[in-house]
Structure 1
Amino acid sequence: MSVKLIIADGDDIGPQFNILEFGDGTSIGIDFGLGVGRSGPSVPYTPELKRLIQYLVVTHAHLDHIGSLPLLADMVGGRFFEPNFTIYGTKATRDLARLMLIDSSNINRKRGNLGLAYSREAIAEVLEDRYVPMRFRDTVDLSPQVTMSLYRAGHILGAGMPFFATSNGFRILHTGNFSTADQRLIAGAEFDQSGIDVMVLDSTYGGRTHQSRMLSRLRIAELINRATARHGKVVFGVFALGRLQEVIQIILDLKKAELIPNIPVYADGGLAWGVTDIYFSHFSELRWQNITDNPFAPGMMEKGLKEKMFEGVTFIGEEERERLANDSESCVVAATSGMFDFGPSRGHLRNMADSPLNIVCATGYQAEESTGDLLLSTERGSVLSLRTPDGGREQITVNCEVERVNLSAHSDQPELCGFVTRVKPKHVVLTHGSESAKFRLAQALAQLGSWKIHIPVKGEEIEFD
C-alpha cells in the first residue's frame, strides 16, 4: 500500500502539523499546534488536500502541538476535516491540553488576539466530544487495512509516539517530541519495533549533545550553594508543564541528601499548580525512585500525594514575589515562564537582576530573541532593553549572575542517532528543528547506516511504496 507524508510543520520549530495519506483512502493528521514566537502567535500551514482528514493524533500537550485544536471546529465539513473526524491521544494529554488551552485563550484574550481566545465550548468539542483516550501500546483500527498504536515518548506526562501499520506490512513511526533518557518524574521513550519502513524524526536538538542528567543535578546544587554562600537568591526560569515539577523534585532531592542548605523553596506560577494537580492525578505513570516517594508506600495516600511530594515547597503569587525581592534571606524560586518573556519569572528577573548576590538560571529551550536568549548573551553590568506584553519597553540592569542548566526533555544528537540505529528504518524524515539542527543530524546519521534521509520543506509531499 502506498503512503504519502505531507509536511505542514514548516522548516523550523513552530506550529506542528503533518498529514499521512494511505492508499486505502485513510487520512490522518498529527498534531495541530500554535506558534508562540515573539512576532505573535501563528497557526499551522494548511495545504490543499485531495481528501478530507478522518483522524487526528495528538502526541502531547505542549502548545506548539495542541494550541490550534479548537480551530478545527470551523474546518469540519469544509476542505480539510470530515464531519465525524476523531481525535486520539492519551488521557493525560487530554487533561493537560484542556488546562493549557484555557490558559492560552485567557492570555490571547488579554492581548487582543480574539481569534485565538477560544470559548470553553470550542475546547470541549475537541477534547470531550471528539477525543478518544488511548493507553500506551493499545491498538485501534483506523480502517480494515490501517492500525495505529501509541508508544511512550518520554518528554512530558502523556506524550506518545504514534505508530502506524498496514495490512501488507508497511510500518511508519512519527516520534513527535521524545526523550530516550529518564527524567526525574518521566521515564524515557519505549519502542520495541525494528526494521520499520519510515521514521518521522524530531530534530529539535539534532545538532547538540546534552550534559548528563546527573551532572545537571550537581550543577543546580553548585549554583544554589554559590548564591547562598554570599546570601543571595537563585531564580530558575521553568516551563509550567513538566519542567517546574522536575526542578522542584531535584531541589528537594538535593535538600534531602544535604547537598544544599535547608533554605526556603518557592514555586511561582498559577498554571503550574494546576499542571501539578494533573501530574499527580496520573501518579501511576510517573517514575518513583525511592520508597519515600512511592505513592503506594504506607501513609502516602492518607497524607495526600501532592502535599507529600511538595512538602517544604511554598507556592506564591505577586504579593510574595515583591516581599522576596526585599527579603535578605537566601532562597530558591522556580518560576514560570521558562523564557522569562512574561509571567512570574519576568517579575523575579525585574526584582532580582540588579543584585550581584543573585543568580538567574534558564533551564530549557530559549527561542531566538526571547528574553532568556537575550539575557544569556548579556554581560554583567549591562542594561537589557526588553519588550513588555503591552508593546512597550522596560530597562533591566543585569548585575546578577546569569546561568543555564540543561534539563532538556528532548533527545540530543547521540540519543537520536542511537534510537535510529536500534530501530533501523529504511527512510528517516527529519522535522521539527532548525535547518542547522537537521543538517547536522543528517550528517551524523549518514555515517551510521544505509537509510535514506529526507529533509523536507513546508508543503512538500513524500510518497513511499
Structure 2
Amino acid sequence: MDYPYVQHHGAVQGVTGSCHQLWLSPQHSLLIDCGLFQGAEVSGQGAGANNLPIEFSLDTVQALVATHVHIDHIGRLPWLMAAGFRQPVYCTHASARLLPLVLEDAFMVGVQRDAELARRYVALVAPLLRGHAYREWVTLIDTAQLVCRLRFQRAGHILGSAWVELDVHYPLQQRRRRVVFSGDLGAPHAPLLAPPHIGWQADVVVLESTYGDRLHEDRRQRRQRLQAVLEHALADGGTVIIPAFSIGRTQELLYELEDIIWRASATGDSSWQQLPVILDSPLASQFTRVYRELDEYWDAEALKRLRDGRRPLDFANLLTVDSHAQHQSMVNRLAHTRQPAVVIAASGMCAGGRVMNYLKAMLGDPRHDVVFVGYQAEGTPGRQIQKFGPRGGWVELDGERVDIRAGIHVLGGYSAHADQKGLVRFVTGMRHWPQQVRLVHGDPSAKQALAEALQAEALRRGRGLEVVIP
C-alpha cells in the first residue's frame, strides 16, 4: 500500500456525514471531520448505546481535524467519544469558540435531552480542543520515519471554517506529499466573510461537490429577489418564513436584511422601519452573539459598516425569541393577524426545530411565503416543500398532512457553498495542480457534472488531471 492514502467513511453517497481517514502509515492515521448523516442519508437504524455509527477502528487515529462546526462535519463526536476517542481535536480559533455550543445542542437533540449530561459531555471534549490561527503550520507527528504538519486556510463557508493542507514527509524515503481537504467552501461574494483562499500546490485534493452542477445568481440579484418577497409581505400582511441553519446562514441573512431595510428606509418609506425581523432560535441567537464578538474575522465591507455606525447583526428591527412560551405566542400572533414579519428559525432543512410550528400554522395560507436559502437534502421536509410547493402539493410534518399554498422561493445565491465555477477555480487556481481530485459531499449528478467541468478545464489548458468519484 502506498502512503498516504484516503479512506472515506461518509459524504460518499450524498452530502452529509463527512468523515475521511488519511492513512499516513500502517500505525498512523488522521480523521478529517466526523459528521452526522441527515435526511435520507441517515446511516443504519440510528444511533444508540448499542448501535454506534462509528464503523471503523480508531486504533491508529492520532487526531481529529475539524474543518468547521456544522453537525454534518462534527456531529458524530459524541459517538467517537463513546468508542474511546480521547485524541486532540484540531480546528481554528473561531471553531474552538463555537464548537462547545454546537456539541451541546447536538447532544441534546441527537443523544439525550439531558442538560446536565450534555454539559458533562462538553466538559470532556473541551480539553481536547486545539485552536489555531489561519496559515499557521502545526506539527502533528514528528518521528524519524514520518513528519506530518497541518495548516488551516480560510474557506469562507461559516465563521472559523477552513480547508486543510496536510504536508506529509517521509524522511528516510526522501518523499513528500501534500493532501488538501476542502471541507465546505464558501461562495466568493458571501456577506460577512472573506472568500476562500486559493492554495499554492497539492498532490491530492478531496473536494466537496454540493453545488457541482449549478451556478449561483449574483449577490445583487439575490438581494433584489429577497427584497421582492419582503415587499409582498408588507403588502399582504404576511410572514416570510426562512428556515435557516443556526450558524452561517442566519448571520448572513441578518446582515443582508439589515442592508435591505437600511436602504429602503433611506428612501423615506417608513413601513420598512416597522417590519420586525424575528430570530426564533436560541442556538442561532447564541451564535449571532459570538459572531458579533469575533468581528476580527469579518470582511472589509462588514467592518466598514461597523465604522459607519451601523449594527449589521444587532439592528433596531431585530427581535429575538427565547422561551418556548414566547415562541408559541409568536406563532399564534403571526398566523392570526395581518402584521407583516420575517421569521428566521431552525432547522434549515425543516427536519425539526421551531420552524416546524410556523410551517404547520402558515403553509396553507397564500399570504405567507417560505424562502429557502440553503441546501435541502433528499428525504427532508424542506426538499419536499421545495419540490411539491410550486405544484400546489402537500407535505407531511410531524405526521400531519399540510397543504402548501404559501409562496415557495429558492434563493440559491445565499448558499454557503461554492458553485461549480468556484469549485473548479479552487483546483485550477493553484500554481501547482494536483495529480488527483476526489469528489465527495454531493449528490451523484452534482459530482458527475463537476468531474466533467474539471476535466474539460484540464483539457482546455493541456493539463493532466485524474478525477475520482469514490
TM-score between the two structures when normalised by the length of structure 1? 0.86
Q: Distance in 1 between matches of 2:314 and 2:397?
A: 37
Residue 329 of structure 1: how far off its partner (Å): 1.9
1:240 and 2:250 aligned: no
Q: Distance in 1 between matches of 2:425 and 2:224?
A: 26
Q: Distance in 1 between matches of 2:357 and 2:90?
A: 38
1:411 and 2:411 aligned: no
1:431 and 2:433 aligned: no
The letter for the 1-side match of 2:348 is G
Secondary structure of 2:446's counterpart equals: helix
Q: Distance in 1 between matches of 2:66 and 2:137?
A: 15
2:317 is aligned, of 312, 315, 336, to 312
Residue 378 of structure 1: how far off its partner (Å): 2.4
Secondary structure of 2:355's counterpart equals: helix
1:19 alignment partner in structure 2: 21
1:209 and 2:208 aligned: no
1:459 alignment partner in structure 2: none
1:264 is aligned, of 265, 273, 276, to 276
2:461 alignment partner in structure 1: none
Residue 142 of structure 1: how far off its partner (Å): 1.6
The letter for the 1-side match of 2:135 is R
1:333 and 2:338 aligned: no
Residue 299 of structure 1: how far off its partner (Å): 7.2
Alpha-carbon distance change, 129 to 291 in structure 1, aligned in 2, over 3 angstroms: closer
Q: Distance in 2 between matches of 1:132 and 1:93?
A: 10
Secondary structure of 1:289's counterpart equals: helix
Secondary structure of 2:176's counterpart equals: coil
Is the Cα contact below 8 Å between 1:35 and 1:41 reproduced in 2? Answer: no
Alpha-carbon distance change, 292 to 133 in structure 1, aligned in 2, over 3 angstroms: closer
2:138 alignment partner in structure 1: 140
Count of aligned positions: 433
Is the Cα contact below 8 Å between 1:26 and 1:142 reproduced in 2? Answer: no
Residues 364-403 of structure 1: matches in 2 within 5 Å? 364-379=374-389, 382=392, 384-388=394-398, 393-403=399-409
The letter for the 1-side match of 2:468 is H
Alpha-carbon distance change, 380 to 366 in structure 1, aligned in 2, over 3 angstroms: closer
Q: Distance in 1 between matches of 2:308 and 2:207?
A: 42
Q: Distance in 2 between matches of 1:96 and 1:231?
A: 37
2:293 is aligned, of 253, 267, 281, to 281
2:80 is aligned, of 72, 76, 92, to 72
Q: Distance in 1 between matches of 2:360 and 2:91?
A: 39
2:363 alignment partner in structure 1: 353
Alpha-carbon distance change, 233 to 86 in structure 1, aligned in 2, over 3 angstroms: closer
Alpha-carbon distance change, 341 to 20 in structure 1, aligned in 2, over 3 angstroms: closer
Residue 75 of structure 1: how far off its partner (Å): 2.9
Residue 256 of structure 1: how far off its partner (Å): 0.8
Residues 441-456 of structure 1: matches in 2 within 5 Å? 441-449=450-458, 450-456=464-470
Residues 28-107 of structure 1: matches in 2 within 5 Å? 28-37=30-39, 41=46, 46-48=55-57, 52-76=60-84, 85-107=87-109
Residue 340 of structure 1: how far off its partner (Å): 2.1
Q: Distance in 2 between matches of 1:328 and 1:264?
A: 13
Unmatched runs of 5 consecutive residues or more in structure 1: 457-465
Structure 1, residues 61-106: CA drift from partner, whole Å, max 9, x if none? 0001111112223333xxxx5x6x2210012212322112211222
Q: Distance in 2 between matches of 1:75 and 1:203?
A: 30
Give the structure with the larger helix fraction: 2
1:231 alignment partner in structure 2: 237
1:420 and 2:427 aligned: yes
Residue 41 of structure 1: how far off its partner (Å): 4.9
TM-score between the two structures when normalised by the length of structure 2? 0.85
Secondary structure of 2:107's counterpart equals: helix
Q: Distance in 1 between matches of 2:26 and 2:350?
A: 48
2:200 alignment partner in structure 1: 193
Residue 122 of structure 1: how far off its partner (Å): 2.6
2:332 is aligned, of 305, 317, 322, to 322
Alpha-carbon distance change, 44 to 193 in structure 1, aligned in 2, over 3 angstroms: farther
Q: Distance in 2 between matches of 1:358 and 1:292?
A: 34
2:119 alignment partner in structure 1: 120
Secondary structure of 2:180's counterpart equals: strand
Is the Cα contact below 8 Å between 1:350 and 1:396 reproduced in 2? Answer: yes
Q: Distance in 1 between matches of 2:259 and 2:208?
A: 31
Residue 288 of structure 1: how far off its partner (Å): 4.6
Is the Cα contact below 8 Å between 1:32 and 1:66 reproduced in 2? Answer: yes
Alpha-carbon distance change, 71 to 369 in structure 1, aligned in 2, over 3 angstroms: closer
CA RMSD of aligned residues (A): 2.6
Unmatched runs of 5 consecutive residues or more in structure 2: 170-174, 322-326, 459-463
Secondary structure of 1:199's counterpart equals: strand
Q: Distance in 1 between matches of 2:339 and 2:264?
A: 19
Q: Distance in 2 between matches of 1:253 and 1:216?
A: 13
1:222 and 2:228 aligned: yes
1:8 and 2:33 aligned: no
Residue 159 of structure 1: how far off its partner (Å): 0.6
Alpha-carbon distance change, 218 to 89 in structure 1, aligned in 2, over 3 angstroms: same
Is the Cα contact below 8 Å between 2:184 and 2:417 reproduced in 1? Answer: yes
Alpha-carbon distance change, 207 to 383 in structure 1, aligned in 2, over 3 angstroms: closer
Q: Distance in 1 between matches of 2:304 and 2:187?
A: 26
Q: Distance in 2 between matches of 1:109 and 1:32?
A: 16
Q: Distance in 2 between matches of 1:130 and 1:278?
A: 21
Residue 290 of structure 1: how far off its partner (Å): 5.6
Q: State percent identity of aligned pairs.
A: 29
Structure 1: 4+ residue segments shifted above 4 A: 38-45, 379-383
Q: Distance in 1 between matches of 2:184 and 2:390?
A: 35
